[in-house]
Amino acid sequence: MQRIRLRYTKRGRLRFTSHRDFQRAFERALRRAEVPMAYSAGFTPHPKVSYANAAPTGTGSEAEYLEIALTEARDPDKLRELLDESLPAGLDVIEAVEAHTSGLADRLTASVWELRLNGVDPTDAERAVAAFDEAGTVEVQRMTKNGVRTFDARPAVVSLGSVDTHSSHADRPTDQPCAILRLVVRHVTPAVRPDDVLSGLRAVADLAPPVPAAVTRLAQGLLDEETGTVTDPLAPDREAAATEPVTAGATAAATAPA
């Protein structure tokens, strides 16, 4: 059995797709591309697809990850092209690597988010960020299936700051005043989402954008605690592939026609 790890995006209007919507679209893409999927056992077999830490509905993303299991070996690059052609524009498969290591989900410990605050003056946003950084605790509330939950969002935030609007990757350009924030947040329990941080900015500095923020995940991976950066979770698989000896049998299997 071969395992392939994929990085895909949610862009433009497709950021409003739910995780369940994406699952259905991806399984249809697997059938269109005639991918030799491995299936679970039991009365209702399902293709073996492992989804890792999907972005919330309504947020864009440049760094979503999943893993699939195949019954026959395939070239990762060719497989990526076939799947990308079979998915709607906006759900783009941009990278595929063969899994040579374990624990992809364990390497997704933090995310980098970009928050576009249309109608907010950058100076006001910077003052709100300073107040958030100085706060010892930032209590926010979230509605859950068990009712309203209150928790401290501050410890999960590694860094929060403003960036030049010309370097933004967010989805919603505008001629109006606009502040761009860059957020690095740990994946903790309960999860602290970008909207929780926005609630915290409203609580500590009364920052309330006139329209909903456009939120895009730029990266997710293992957090380097010393530098505060988020590393590429597929790098260990690329490194392992580069050092793994290639046998004649493996080469033939990897280049077998779809």
Domains annotated on the chain, with CATH: 2-106 (3.30.70.580), 108-230 (3.30.70)
Q: How far apart are CA 93 and CA 62, in angstroms?
A: 10
Binning pLDDT at 50, 70 and 90, where does residue 166 land?
Answer: low
Q: How far apart are CA 59 and CA 224, in angstroms?
A: 24
Q: How far apart are CA 83 and CA 238, in angstroms?
A: 20
User: Which residue type occupies 210?
Assistant: P
Burial of 230 (0-12, 13-18, 19+ CB in 10 A): buried
Percent of the chain whose predicted confidence (pLDDT) is above 70? 90
Q: Do the Cβ atoms of 202 and 208 come closer than 8 Å?
A: yes
Binning pLDDT at 50, 70 and 90, where does residue 49 land?
Answer: very high
Q: Is the dihedral of CA 118, 109, 131, 140 positive or negative?
A: positive
Alpha helices in 16-64 (DSSP H): 19-32
Helix, strand, or coil here: 68?
strand
pLDDT in tens, 205-240: 999 999 999 999 999 999 999 999 999 999 999 999
What H or E segment, with its residue span, contains residue 208?
A: none
What H or E segment, with its residue span, contains residue 113?
A: strand 110-118
φ, ψ for residue 121, nearest 5 deg: -70, 135
Q: How much is the pLDDT for 165?
A: 63
Query: Would you tell me the crossing angle of helices 122-134 and 194-205 to the nearest 10 degrees?
Result: 90
Has residue 169 got a pLDDT over 90? no
Q: Which residues 6+ apart lie within 8 Å of 132 measured at CB? A: 138, 154, 157, 160, 197, 200, 201, 204, 205
Q: How far apart are CA 126 and CA 186, in angstroms?
A: 21
pTM of the predicted model, to two decimals? 0.88
pLDDT in tens, 109-132: 999 999 999 999 999 999 999 999
Has residue 257 got a pLDDT over 70? no
Token pair 């004649």: residue: 248
pLDDT averaged over every residue in the chain: 91
